[in-house]
Structure 1
Amino acid sequence: MKIGLHISNFTWPDGAPRIGSTLAGIAAAADDAGFERISVMDHVWQIGVHGPPELEMLEAYTTLGFLAAHTHRAKLLTLVTGVTYRDPGLLAKAVTTLDVLSGGRAILGIGAAWNAEESAGLGLRFPPTAERFERLEETLRICRQMFDGDETAFAGKHYRLDRLLNSPLPLSRPGPPILIGGGGEKKTLLLVAKYADACNLFPTPELQHKLDVLKRHCDTVGRDYAEIEKTVLYRFTDDVSEMVEEARRFAAMGISVLHGGVREPWESRRFEIFRDELVPALEAL
């Protein structure tokens, strides 16, 4: 069982002038503590579950580039990129750049997008749901093709690219892993089965059902269900025994990564419990 740190709130002590140094310290502490990956949200305004939109929020890929310079081991990703926020050619280039500069540690986390309010506020494209999923599938195909180094032109319903040149290619081979976030049974999990290396799900009572649906989609498209990494959103606490017990329950369902937030992460001592107790315990699962 592996753990990942999700950083979703930048409203920290000392305000904006210290966000950079605080973030660098959090990333370094998580990296040293054994977090296998670090993620940020791909939002331009703060979302309601964390507070009002006026709270501090950083652009995702600029932030991941910063994190690459302050970590050595952890994989880096968004949880997850809204497909409509960047055209796919630029997105593939951004993820490739992150992969090259981080020494092959990028993951493409992606989903169909949902925040109409921030999109309207900053003039970002936000078409109806059906179109967003069509764009998501085309983007997955384009990114995979660009990661592979296939320059063949792409002509889809929503995107047309004349030459998919991507130089340099990602260091990760065959390319940065693709993680799709969300548990929609008809569309999202089908796209996971068809295109993704990993999925991220919510730890609700429906989790096992979602995994069963994904397995049926894999059977339908001829995909090995076992080769898809299953990750789940999680909220870390200070109770190691409780976290180990929950990790054991998730592991029995086939989940291999617990990925979530840490309370007051700017306090570096928060990560000592992970380094000294939780990570060693989880290695045995």
Structure 2
Amino acid sequence: MRIGLQIPSFTFPGGPEQIGPTFGRMAREADQAGLHSLWVMDHFFQIGVVGPPEEPMLEGYSALAYAAALTEQITLGTMVTGVTYRHPGILIKTVTTLDVLSGGRAWLGIGAAWNEDESRGLGVRFPPTSERFEKLEETLKIAHQMWKGDESAFEGEHFTLERPLNSPPALRSPHPPILIGGGGEKKTLRFVARYADACNLFDSEELPRKLDVLREHCEREGRDYAEIEKTSLSYFSSPPSVDAAVDTIGRLAERGIDHAIFTQGTGQDLAGILGEALTQTEKIVPSGR
């Protein structure tokens, strides 16, 4: 079982001047605790389930680049980038840059986008749902093409790239893993089966059914279900004990999750707890889960 930490809030004691030192410390602690992954949200305004939009929110890839310079082993990604936020060619170039500078530790976390308020607020066009999914599929195709080193022109309904050059290439082989966030059963999980290396689902009662749907999509796509890394996103409403974290990890492993990602709550310091839970979990969860 792999363990990850998501940091969704940058409202730290001491105000904006303490954001850099505090976030940097959290990244180093997660790395030193042996966690597999570190994630930030790719939002421009804070989201409602965490706090009001006026709360501090860092741009995701700048934050990950900062974390990359302070860490050595932990992998780095956004949970997840809305497809409407960046032109796909620039997005793949950005993730590739993170991968090169971090020594091959980048993820491409991506989804169809949902936060219309921040898009309208910053003047980013927010198209209808059907168009966002069309753009998501084209972006996934462009990612595979650019990471293969194929510079031939890409002509889609929404995007045209005359020469999708990507130099330097990513260090991760065959490419930075692609994680698609979301549990939509008709399109999102079908895109996971067709294009992705990992999925991300909420830790909820629906989790087993979502994984069954993904398995069905894999069968239709001719994809080995076991090839896809199943990740979940969990949240502790109050500071957990190591035993509570171990219990949650064990439950998720039983449900078929390979990579449990936990959201850092206000006033919590999860890295140390998760590191200790990881040590205990390795004794009870088979390696490779």
Bin of the TM-score, shorter chain as denominator length: over 0.9
In the TM superposition, 1:53-202 aligns within 5 A as: 53-202=53-202
**Could you tell me whether the CA contact under 8 Å between 1:2 and 1:283 is conserved in 2?**
no
Q: For residues 23 and 266 of structure 1, what CA distance do their matches in structure 2 show?
A: 13
Aligned residues: 282
Give the 3 Å change call, closer, same or farther, for CA 46–264 of structure 1 in structure 2. closer
| 1:281 partner letter | Q
How many angstroms does 1:273 deviate by? 3.1
The aligned counterpart of 1:50 is: 50
Residue of structure 1 equivalent to 2:4: 4
Contact 2:8 2:264 survives alignment (8 Å):
no
How far apart are the structure 2 equivalents of 1:264 and 1:88?
33
Match of 1:26 in 2: 26
**2-side partners of 1:142 and 1:243: how far apart?**
38
Separation in 1 of the partners of 2:258 and 2:271? Answer: 20
Distance 2:274 2:84 in 1: 36
User: Equivalents in 2 of 1:130, 1:71: separation in Å?
Assistant: 39
SS in 1 for 2:245: helix
Measured in 2, the distance between the counterparts of 1:242 and 1:61 equals: 32
Percent of paired sites with the same residue: 57
Aligned to 2:281: 282
Q: Give me the whole-angstrom Cα distance separating, in 1, the residues matched to 2:63 and 2:264.
A: 18
Tell me how far apart the structure 2 counterparts of residues 273 and 183 of structure 1 sit (CA, whole Å): 28
Can you list the C-alpha shifts for 1:180-218, whole angstroms capped at 9, x where unaligned? 000000000000000000000011111100000000000
Distance in 1 (alpha carbons) for counterparts of 2:160 and 2:9: 36
Residue 259 of structure 2 corresponds to 257
TM-score, normalized by length of structure 2? 0.95
What is the one-letter code of the residue matched to 2:79? L
Unaligned residue ranges in structure 2 (runs of 5+)? none
| Aligned residue type for 1:198 | A
Q: Evaluate the alpha carbon distance shift between residue 265 and residue 62 of structure 1 in structure 2; reply closer, same or farther with a 3 A threshold.
A: farther
For 1:216 and 1:114, the matched residues in 2 are separated by 26
Query: Is residue 15 from structure 1 mapped to residue 8 from structure 2 by the alignment?
Result: no
